Chains A and B, each alone.
Chain A
Amino acid sequence: MSGRSGLGLVEVAVLEALDAAGATPDRRHRRSARVLAIVEERIGLAPGYAYQVLTDLALPWKVPVPLVDGHGNFGSPDGDPPAGWRYTDVRLSPAGQVTLAAERGELAPVPAGLITGNTYQWGLRPPFRPTAVIEAIRQVLARPRTTGPEITEIVGPPDFMTGCTVTGDLAGLAAGRPVDLRLHARVTITDDAHLSARIDGNAPGSWFKPGQLNRTVLVIDNFPPTTGPAEVARAIASRAREPQWAAGYPDLTRRARLPVQDIADLSSCRGGYLLACLPEPDADLDELRQQVSEIEGVTTRLPAALPRPLAKTIRDWSRSWPGEDLAASLTVLEDAIASSRLCDG
């Protein structure tokens, strides 16, 4: 892991290759295949491996701050993979360019790796909210005696771009212990009016007709990053079916089967990824909500660990370079993050 940005070696090699290909934010995108050829030439990593990293760094639902600006079909949070590397184009995002500048010593270090984490590549380090990490470093720069608990509180819990809730031993994680986090999608009971307001106005091919439903529905959104509506819909559908063994095991059926009549994937540009379940008329909604919340995919387990206590990492970072340079570097990073997110839009 690089000491200047906190990124891994392959991530840095990918950023270097983008720069070498002339794929900077002020210039046009370059074909991914060309960038991957440079990565292979420099570190010997075959395109199949490097492409995964290249695309992950471009996906706003995987990393809090995309370091790569992608153009073309980069897949979806629902598991669709990106198109092949001969058909996609990439360049450095503003945040990627700042990170690369820090790597090369042209700027003071930036905490890109701490912000991005590496759970998107099945690593153990979860991502944190960018503004909170920057604020914590600023706080330590301004007040070097800021305590560990104060730093941890400023940074807050891990923050995934999908908006899922994170629970588990957060104090243990901050202390540097390996923990099992649980990521929860949001499960709410709502009505026609609220649901209609969230989607694009119609839901072709589904049972949900805005403005015509006189019943409450169960809505699932803010999925954990490892799942999406298609998987969860499949899981709920498999649990809603009457099992073949229903008559032989009535108690198991009662506990294992979900009283759901129908499911609709109402994901849209406006409302994001969203799944609506139509409960059976006599279903106990609170119990159903609880059952759905416990379904694998709606809640997932994520092993996580930080290499060192969070507060120590932030404190060491703040001491690694003259304070004024670090503060300036953080400002540049902050501006770049804002620009990188505008790129996504």
Chain B
Amino acid sequence: MVLAAAVLVADGVSLLLVGSAALWLRGEPVTVGDVDVVIEPGRENLRRLHAALSGVALRPRDIPAPHRLAGVPVVTIATSYGRVDCLLERGRRDWARLREAAGPVAVADVSVLVASADDAWALRRRFKGPGG
């Protein structure tokens, strides 16, 4: 499932992996249900995100237009690699901070930025509660 993130990165999207997939790559004992990625803000990056998602989405019509991506908080897209949650609002607010603590992890031969375990746990606790 983390291949989805690698494919988006290979397509030129600047993103940072958080959520269960990030924790799993960091060696934490969690089950990966979907892929949560924080997207770097910026018009050009959102255009690349739109193009990349269009190539792998099961229902391309679910993808908001590039200019709308700049205003929505989260976009969830079912791709052929699994469900991808694009956390756009989180990117607008916290990209710089999350980027600072993140590090690259090789997925296939792509270097994917993965949030630190502390940040990933903090986001998970914030949005899913203690049981999530």
Interface residues of A (CB under 8 A from B): 180, 227, 231, 234-236, 238-239, 243-245, 248-252, 254-256, 295-297, 301
Partner pick for A252 among B10, B58, B78, B80, CB 8 A cutoff: B10
Would you call B110 an interface residue if the criterion is a C-beta within 8 Å of the partner chain's C-beta atoms?
Answer: yes
**B110 shortest CB reach to chain A, Å:** 5
B10 near A248 with CB under 8 A, answer: yes
Interface residues of B (CB under 8 A from A): 3, 6-7, 10-11, 33, 55-56, 58-59, 78-83, 107-110
Partner pick for A251 among B7, B78, B108, CB 8 A cutoff: B108
The closest CB in chain B to the CB of A226 belongs to B78
* 8 A-B contacts (beta carbon < 8 Å): A231-B58, A239-B56, A249-B6, A252-B3, A252-B108, A256-B81, A296-B83, A297-B78
The closest CB in chain A to the CB of B59 belongs to A231
B81 near A297 with CB under 8 A, answer: no
* A235 CB contacts on chain B under 8 angstroms: 56, 58, 79-80
A-B CB proximity, top 9 nearest: A235-B80, A252-B108, A251-B109, A245-B10, A251-B108, A231-B58, A249-B10, A296-B82, A249-B109
* A255 CB contacts on chain B under 8 angstroms: 3, 108
A301 near B33 with CB under 8 A, answer: yes
A249 near B33 with CB under 8 A, answer: no
* B107 CB contacts on chain A under 8 angstroms: 252
A252 near B11 with CB under 8 A, answer: no
**A130 shortest CB reach to chain B, Å:** 30
Per the bound structure, the CA–CA distance linking A235 and B55 in Å amounts to 9
**B20 shortest CB reach to chain A, Å:** 12
